[in-house]
Structures are given as structure tokens and as C-alpha cells.
Structure 1
């Protein structure tokens, strides 16, 4: 399965830790930022005023190589599993060449009603956008 959405993410000066490479928490921040930016821009998600919110119920990351400021990472995303109210995004962080894997992870959202926090079906534009990134 290939990544269907790509974005370049620059590392920042403060991403490096005392060992001189990107701190492990930054990988998670990048995954979270790429997923939520895609949701807002491509899937019509409104995290501030919408009736539905996405709650992260699981995240995982495997580290394959070091990265450090001032690199620009190429981040790929796809939908690994799309359920009724949940979705698992699969994210790869690569060097700028798009081939050298830095880290691979996944991030699972359950979409819930903003008021009750009870799961709700993923529907409309959001489901269509997610289906487009899922393996057929």
C-alpha cells in the first residue's frame, strides 16, 4: 500500500535534543499536525465549531533513522482502516528524497459528538475524503 497524501514538513531549531537529533516526541507532533491539517483542509473537519470532534485513542511510532534540524521531511499519509466511527491513519516520515524512511507510525481517531463524547458515524465529505486515501 502506498501513501496517497504527501506534504513537506521542515524541522525546527528546537526539534533537536541534547544528542543533536530530532527528539522522539517531535515525530508524534508531526504525525498529529499532518493528520489534522489534512482533516481540516481536505476533509472539511471543523475542530473548533463542528458538532463532531476526533479523539486520539491510539498512536504508535517506529524509529528507523535519525533526523535533525535543518532537514525538511517528506511526510506521507494514507488510511489504513476506516470503520464506522474510527479511522487509523498510517504515516511515514522520510528524508527529502522521499525514499529514506525516518519513522513509520499510525494514529487512530474515534469521532464523537462534541457534547456527549459518544461515537458518531463518519459521514459526508469527511468519509469521502478518507475513502479516497484508503487502499481500494
Structure 2
């Protein structure tokens, strides 16, 4: 099995910056792997809310996570900040697969990189629906 290589900063079009918290570190002195998934979720939803697409309280459709994964290349640790880069890898009828990476501020290569897949579903039935045109147009800006 070949080891993936860290993506470069230039591969991402949207950025979300977070401050690391004391509780993000684990007993080994670096950010725990589960925290990266929280960052990914925050970055994607910040993007969607910021673009006026996702109304978490009343919007329809909503986006549910169906798949995530992450590869780790270098440790990050408290105190400090992290920059989460976001790009769209694949856009389907009712799904979108994001490429996401965590960077130390100013670093050219990612400390971790992963994927995150959302499926558009109706709020009431929780069944897949096509992405509205407005959502598709915004996703295409990151493709």
C-alpha cells in the first residue's frame, strides 16, 4: 500500500481558521485524530452557512455526512492555530465529496488531509434529493 502525499496549500479555494484548544491535545502531546473530524465538519458547515445555502434550523434540503476519512502527515499541537482548506472533488446529483486539509498557519504542505461526503436530503423524509441550482453553482466555484 502506497502512502499518500500531503496536498499543497494551492489546491484549496476556501479557508477556515481555528484556534487550537487545550483539550484538543491528547496524552501524546499533539492534537487527537478525532479533533480533525470536528474541524472538517466546522469548515464545511461554515462554508455552507456563509454562502447562504445551509439554514440549520429550517432549511430544506439539509446535508448529511455519509463518509469521512483522513491521512495524517505531521503533528499539530496546542497552543496555536490551524487553517482548514476546502475544495470540491466530486459533485453528483445529490452528493458532494469535499477534499479537506489541515495546515499549520503559512505551511505549504498539509499536516493532515481527508475527504468528507455530504448527501442532500429532504428535511422531512431524510431521503436524497438533487442539489438545488444555487448549491450546485457554489460547489462549482470550489471544483
**Shorter-chain TM band:** over 0.9
Mark the runs of 5 or more structure 1 residues left unpaired by the alignment. none
Query: Is residue 2:102 matched to residue 1:76?
Result: no
Aligned-pair CA distance for 1:7: 2.2
TM-score scaled to structure 1, two decimals?
Answer: 0.93
- Counterpart contact for 1:43–1:130, Cα < 8 Å: no
Alpha-carbon contact 1:91-1:105 (below 8 Å) kept: yes
Report runs of 4+ in structure 1 exceeding 2 Å deviation: none
Q: Does 1:36 align with 2:45?
A: yes
The equivalent residue for 1:49 is 58
Name the residue aligned to 1:96: 105
How many equivalent residue pairs? Answer: 134
Counterpart of 1:4 in structure 2 is: 13
Q: Aligned-residue CA RMSD in angstroms?
A: 1.2
* Greater share of residues in strand: 1
In structure 2, list runs of 5 or more residues that go unmatched: 1-9
Task: Kindly state the Cα deviation for residue 45 of structure 1 after the two structures are TM-superposed.
Answer: 1.1
2: CA distance between counterparts of 1:106 and 1:43? 22
TM-score normalized by the length of structure 2: 0.89
